[in-house]
Every structure is written in structure tokens, then in C-alpha cells.
Amino acid sequence: MRNADVASLLDQIAGLLDIKGELLLRVRAFREAAQAIRGLGEDIATLWREDRLSDIRGVGTSIAGVIKAYLRTGHSACLADLQPQEPAGALELMQIPGLGPHRARVLSEQLGITSIEGLIRAATNQALRGLPGMGATTEAKLLREANRVAARSRRIPLFVAWPLAEDMATQLQADPAIVAAAPVGSIRRRKETIGDIDVLLATTDAAAAFRHAASLPLVREVVTEGPAHCTVLTHDHLQIDLWAVTPDQWGAALQSYTGSKAHNIHLRTLAANRGLKLNQYGLFRADGFRFAGETEAGVFDALGLAWIPPELREDQGEIEAAATDSLPDLIELEDIRGDCHTHTTYSDGRNRLEEMADAAIARGYAWLLVTDHSYSLTIAKGLTQAKALAQRRAIAELNRRLAPFRILQGVELEIRMDGSLDCDDPFLATFDMVGASLHPGTRRPNARHPARLLGAMADPFGDVINQPTGGVFGKQAPYEVDMERVIETAIQTGTALEINGSHRFDLSSALARHARDLGAVFTLSSDAHSVAELDGMRYAVAFARRAWIDKAHVLNARDVDSLLRQVWAA
């Protein structure tokens, strides 16, 4: 047991006594003793053995007793006695600046508030004003601080953070003081979820740049500002870090603030091993001479590395691959020839078939696979056989008009509870491509899910497994399926796995990387239920890139004939 442990025990006791409303003098005694013990030049156990505990500043008989008991048993009855008396949630509430133990106790005892979320609700309903010592101003301040603390502990999905960061960068770029602005951090790496938003600025006048940022409509307040870094909050309590560098430092800063931290550590170590120093200002020789930093590619090049796509920068083999020039040729949005998962008004889509086709043409696609829901998903008004045939006639007519563009008729097929596909096989054979999905009953843990998925893959007509894990970000946990087995079976049966670009993160880039390493083939899809949602493809591509997936393993990168050949051969 070390001095730090004992000091931390005394601090905890002080905190709990404080919450309890104990005399300040006694609280302070524990804090002072803790501080003195942290600064001790010798082991506290030695002092105890030599009976010199009371030599320590602030340690009287009662605190000495607490320390002795703790050193002897490794437990503290004093701490244990205090803990149950702590009002529920007080420690959580005390994370909020301006909310001390006294207020935490009042909130808990009088309003039953035991969490930050609870406090936000109560303050929003103006339930705090009227409590002793609390008016509308304090209430507003606590609400603001509580929102900040809550936002810090919550990760934001990429589909919220990325557009916001792009928007911010575009607005900043309009300022004459700002030469360039770009999202960096986990957004540039296209991570599924984002802790905070980072934007890099090239400017020779950081103060002016930060002033401009603070004046943008989306900014609510400036939290901190220094010479090269400024943190602002949006009205939705999202935190944005702004990093300012001079234009000649742009490349090094882009590398540095993109991260990830693990990637940076590896890269900087590699530089150090060659007697070089890499930081956000450039790549330097020991004598201070800077020979790279203006461009990011220049930094990598000077280290003997190929430029590494940001999506790979997680220190998961990318630096080694860059050193041997064996980075994967990642799939790009421009490679995508069509979308593999879209809906129309034939099921629960909001746009008509021809509108979806026109939008696909406008995106530069060569084909569009429409995959309306099959019959059993009644909430989605799925395709009956008659409806499917009517859609097929409409597609044929449109295809004559839109050639060489091709609409393909697929179906998003339900996998029934017994594992069979929601359609008779002879009729299935008449679709261009069949994607199988689990929807009904997936909310409940269900032992049959694995069997259902495996059954669908064994079916000769199942071409793709859509949204393989069933998770929806912030809404639905993935279901309990042995994904290892699903991936293996997909590879054995020639079934593609979907990377869904809607709000599911399914497959996640981590699972997709694993599947890719084993040799799986993928479809990337927007799962669009409207023309606007076709844009989800950029997320599917981003996650595929994070998974090191190249064009050869993506069905959407093929032209129609090659796609159908592949699908029918499997």
C-alpha cells in the first residue's frame, strides 16, 4: 500500500463528510492530512510501524486511527460507514461546475434528482428555482453546465459530426484571415462515433480567426481560448476544438491533429529512431532544420512512407504497410457504380421508382438495385407477388427509357422465424439479386437468430446478408449472433455481407476489417428510403475504407454484367 492510496482514502472520506454536511473544520483536517501524506518523503507504513503517524501535519488521534485500520486491513470501516449515507447520485451531480455537496444534497432530498440527466430535465422544467438559494439565474447556469458535462460524456455519431464540421470549415474559409480550414481528428478518420469535433485552421492571425469562429451562428459560446487553440460549444452542446497553425505548417498539423493518438505515437517514434523530431509544426533534424511540414504527403515521404489514407490511421498495421508500399488500394466513392439496397413507394420508401432512378443517374451511377421489403414485414407494406410483378413491368419500361442506365429488381427478404426465406424459391429466382434481413422479433434476445442467418446464407438464392448484426446506433443493440460463424459461412456460401450506410454502423468497420481479412465480399449500401438518403453511400464507403477494403471486394464497384455474373455464380 502506498502513500497515494492512503491520501486518496482520506480525500474520499473528506468528500463524503462534506456531502453529509459535516463541520468544515473536520472535512478540512482530512484534506490537509491527505495533502501532507502525498508530500511525505518516506513510506507511511514505516511511520506507522515506528508509531510516528502523529508527526504528520494534520494527523490527530482520530485520523491516525483511520490510517492504522486501513494499513492493517486494507479496508476502511470509516469510509464504508459514510458511503451508504451519501445521497444517491451526489457524486455524479458534483461533476457539474458550481454544484457543491450542499446543493447536491438539496437536489437529491427535495426533488429526488440523482443524475445529470435528471437535473437537465428538472432545470428545463424550471423546477429548481424556488429551492433555498436558487433563482432563475442559478437554474440557467446549472442547466448550461449540466448540458456541457452530459455532452462531454456522450459520443456523437459521424453522420451528425461530419456534416457539421464540413459546414463549419466552409464558413470559416470565407474569412479573409483564414487561408484554409479542414475537419481533422476522428472525423477525418471517419470513425463511427466522435468524441469532439476538431477543425484545423491555417492563418497568420489566430486571434482574428477565433473571433470569426466565435461569431458563427452555430456557435453558442467560447469555452477556452489560447494563442493557437480555441474550444467552442455549439447550441447543441457539441464541443469543437479549433487548432490554428501558420500556412507553412499545414501539412504537419494536418497529420498531427488527424491522429489517432496511437498512430501519432508510432509515427513520432519512427521519426525519433532516425534522429528526427515530428510534431505539429514540422519534421525537424536534430540541429533544428525543418525539411518537411508544408504538405502532409511531404511529411510521410520524408519518413520514407507512402501517404496513408486517414481512415487507416489507427496504428493497426498501416505504418508497416506504408513502409513496404503495400497499403490497400481502398475503395472510393467514385468507384461506386450503383447502390445495392434502396426502397421505393412499392414498400416503405418515400420516393417513386422513377425518382430514385433519376437521382441515381444524377449521382453518376450506372445501375440501381431497388430492394423493397418482402411480404411478411407488414409494417413496411411489403411486396406481394402481384406487387413485385407490377414493379417488374414498371422497371422494364423505365429501363427502355433510361438505357444504358439499368434498374435492377432486388428484394429485401425477411428471414422467417423458422429460418426459411419469406418467398418461394421459384419466385425468388426471378429477382436480379436477393438480400436477406432479420427484422421481426429481433428486439428480443432470440436463440433462433443465428440459425436464421445461417439458414438464409445456405439458401442458394440468398445473395447478400443485410445489416448483419442488427444493431442500430443509439437505438438497438446488435443481436447475439456468433459473427465469426456468420462471416465464415458467408465466405463458404459466396454470400456478400452488407456495410450499411444508414444509421446502423452495421457491419461496423472493426467487424468488416475482420471479415475482409478472412476474404469476404461486400455490398455497400445507403439503405435509402428517399432520394436524399442515397447520400448514405458516403458513410458505407467510409466504413469500408476503415476496414481496408479494396474495389475488388465490393460488388457495387462492378458494372451490371459483372455484378450479375458474380451474383448468379455464387
C-alpha cell at 144: 448550461
Contact between 295 and 283 (Cβ < 8 Å): no
CB of 169 to ligand DGT, least distance (A): 15
What residue ranges bind ligand DGT (CB under 6 A)? 185-186, 191, 194-196, 198, 256-257, 259-261, 264, 280
- Interacting partner of 508 out of Ca ion, ligand DGT, none (Cβ under 5 to 8 A depending on kind): none
CB of 93 to ligand DGT, least distance (A): 25
Member of 5, 11, 22, 196 binding Ca ion (CB under 5 A): 196
Cis peptide before 404 (omega within 30 of 0): yes
Q: What letter would DSSP give residue 505?
A: -
Please identify, using beta-carbon distances, which residue of 128 and 181 lies nearer to Ca ion. 181
- Interacting partner of 212 out of Ca ion, ligand DGT, none (Cβ under 5 to 8 A depending on kind): none
How far, in Å, CA of 224 to CA of 221, rounded?
9
CB of 508 to ligand DGT, least distance (A): 15
Cβ neighbours of residue 377 under 8 Å, at least 6 residues apart?
347, 414, 422, 439, 440
Which of 396, 420, 421, 419 shows the shortest CA–CA distance to 407?
396
Q: Cα–Cα–Cα angle for 17, 18, 21, nearest 5°?
A: 90
Member of 185, 293, 338, 410 binding Ca ion (CB under 5 A): 185
Which of 88, 121, 129, 82 shows the shortest CA–CA distance to 105?
88
How far, in Å, CA of 17 to CA of 60, rounded?
17
Please identify, using beta-carbon distances, which residue of 139 and 241 lies nearer to Ca ion. 241
CB of 198 to Ca ion, least distance (A): 4
- Interacting partner of 264 out of ligand DGT, Ca ion, none (Cβ under 5 to 8 A depending on kind): ligand DGT
CB of 189 to ligand DGT, least distance (A): 7
Please identify, using beta-carbon distances, which residue of 138 and 193 lies nearer to ligand DGT. 193
CB of 160 to ligand DGT, least distance (A): 12
CB of 17 to ligand DGT, least distance (A): 36
Member of 139, 175, 241, 498 binding Ca ion (CB under 5 A): 241
Please identify, using beta-carbon distances, which residue of 99 and 161 lies nearer to ligand DGT. 161
Stretches 69-77, 225-233, 234-242, 503-511: which one binds Ca ion (CB under 5 A)?
Answer: 234-242
Please identify, using beta-carbon distances, which residue of 103 and 191 lies nearer to ligand DGT. 191
Amino acid type, 127: A
- Interacting partner of 475 out of ligand DGT, Ca ion, none (Cβ under 5 to 8 A depending on kind): none
Contact between 513 and 523 (Cβ < 8 Å): no
Stretches 32-40, 179-187, 262-270, 349-357: which one binds Ca ion (CB under 5 A)?
Answer: 179-187
Please identify, using beta-carbon distances, which residue of 188 and 416 lies nearer to ligand DGT. 188
Q: Is 266 exposed, middle or buried (0-12, 13-18, 19+ CB in 10 A)?
A: middle
Q: What share of the chain is helix, strand, coil (3-state, %, to 5)?
A: 50, 15, 35
Cβ neighbours of residue 288 under 8 Å, at least 6 residues apart?
none
- Interacting partner of 295 out of ligand DGT, Ca ion, none (Cβ under 5 to 8 A depending on kind): none
Member of 139, 145, 198, 296 binding Ca ion (CB under 5 A): 198
Q: Tell which phi-psi region holds residue 303, choosing left (phi > 0), alpha (psi between -120 and 50) or beta.
A: alpha
- Interacting partner of 337 out of Ca ion, ligand DGT, none (Cβ under 5 to 8 A depending on kind): none
Residue whose CB is nearest to Ca ion in the complex, by number: 185
CB of 151 to ligand DGT, least distance (A): 12
Residue whose CB is nearest to ligand DGT in the complex, by number: 259
Contact between 468 and 415 (Cβ < 8 Å): no
Cβ neighbours of residue 243 under 8 Å, at least 6 residues apart?
184, 198, 199, 200, 201, 228, 229, 253, 257, 280
Which of 229, 235, 289 shows the shortest CA–CA distance to 256?
229
Please identify, using beta-carbon distances, which residue of 203 and 256 lies nearer to ligand DGT. 256
Residues that bind Ca ion (CB under 5 A): 185-186, 196, 198, 241
